Amino acid sequence: EVQLMESGGGLVQPGGSLRLSCAASGFTFNTYWMHWVRQVPGKGLLWVSRLNGGGSRTDYADSVKGRFTISRDNAKNTLYLQMNSLRGEDTAVYYCARGHVTGYGFDIWGQGTMVTVSS
């Protein structure tokens, strides 16, 4: 079964750091672009970042550029999001999502992990 499972969320103080993980299974991980998308509970979706299959190409939303770093370990089938200098507005559910193999869309999503930035 094709599956994504996030972990690493929790409560962190403003200015702090957190690393999210996304474990992939059921597909050839290193052939897919992978993305992070976040959602404030009760609000809309916001695309955060993406990384190509080989790990050489990254893109970020302006709101996280310079603070967040996306990476992957293809040997472990795992995607990461290192989040530094966290702000209250980063509080959200963070989803990892797989990019469609031939088109533009996110075809597999994890269940999400909640990040709360608060003192």
Partner 1 sequence: QSALTQPPSVSGSPGQSVTISCTGTSSDVGSYNRVSWYQQPPGTAPKLMTYDVSNRPSGVPDRFSGSKSGNTASLTISGLQAEDEADYYCSSHTTSSTYVFGTGTKVTVL
What is the closest distance, in whole angstroms, from the C-beta atom of residue 82 to partner 1 in the complex?
A: 19
Structure tokens at 50: 């993406």
Q: How many residues bind partner 1, per CB under 8 A?
A: 22
- φ and ψ at 90, to 5 degrees? -85, -5
Q: How many CB atoms lie within 10 A of CB 117?
A: 19
Q: Applying CB under 8 A, does 94 fall inside the site for partner 1?
A: no
Per the listing, tokens 């290193």 go with 30
Q: Applying CB under 8 A, does 35 fall inside the site for partner 1?
A: yes
Query: What is the contact surface with partner 1 in residues (CB under 8 A)?
Result: 35, 37, 44-47, 50, 59-62, 95, 100, 103-107, 109-112
